[in-house]
Amino acid sequence: AFLQVAASGGKIYGVSTDNRIYMQSEGASSSSSWSQAASGSTWTSVLLSGGMLYALSADEKLSRRAVDGSMNSWTTAFDQGFTSFAIQRAAYTLYSLAIPASSAGWCIEEMRFFDPTGGLLSPLRGTGARSFRRPTLCGNSRGALQYQFTEPTVVDTYYLQGGKTSTGTMEVDWVLQGSLDGSKWISLDEQNDMPASGDMKGFKVLSQVCDQSDAEEQQNL
């Protein structure tokens, strides 16, 4: 018996009465075809979004892993006393790629934003870029590559291509942030120890997760 189930991408995930998470392919009829998808915690609920599987444990921690990941690939997404959770499609007017001092001198050759349907988004303007059509940030100190939209816009995926670094650093860090007013920024995705250069690579905006009560409050505004 299951306390709660979620389905996506041909897979069904369920939290059983023993508080473990199990997975089965859609269309499978045998009860023996269920396999354990998570261990090590007392799980209470699961939710799928954007190719990620989110799970809430009894100690109020929120964990996540890629849908096609292994049972041991779970990471802690939030450790903030969650009792319930929801995935929100948060929209922001401003988006910023913040680069820490440890990655100073890194050149971003190109960056693109896409909406949940896969459509290419066109910001109104960019700050910190040498060219709007081919946005490039090449700083000698930590900084941020910032883009502004005419209205709050949902970014589902962003792509970027890195280039050389003036310091010769081979790996870099960054944080994608969103804001409505330019003063309060929300971290949307964080990457660490990524190759400084290489082909264009895409990243999902995964951090749009909040407590269920907060989601309901925002919907009522």
Total residues belonging to the chain = 221
The pLDDT profile of the chain, 221 residues, written as one tens digit per residue, is: 788 888 876 788 889 988 889 988 877 767 778 888 887 788 988 887 767 788 888 888 888 888 877 888 888 877 767 777 666 667 899 998 888 777 767 777 778 899 888 899 988 876 654 443 444 455 434 567 788 899 999 898 999 887 766 666 788 888 899 999 888 888 888 888 888 887 888 988 864 555 444 444 444 43
- pTM of the predicted model, to two decimals? 0.57
DSSP state of 178: E
Contacts of 59 (CB under 8 A, 6+ apart): 41, 42
Within its chain, how far is the Cα of 110 from the centroid? 20
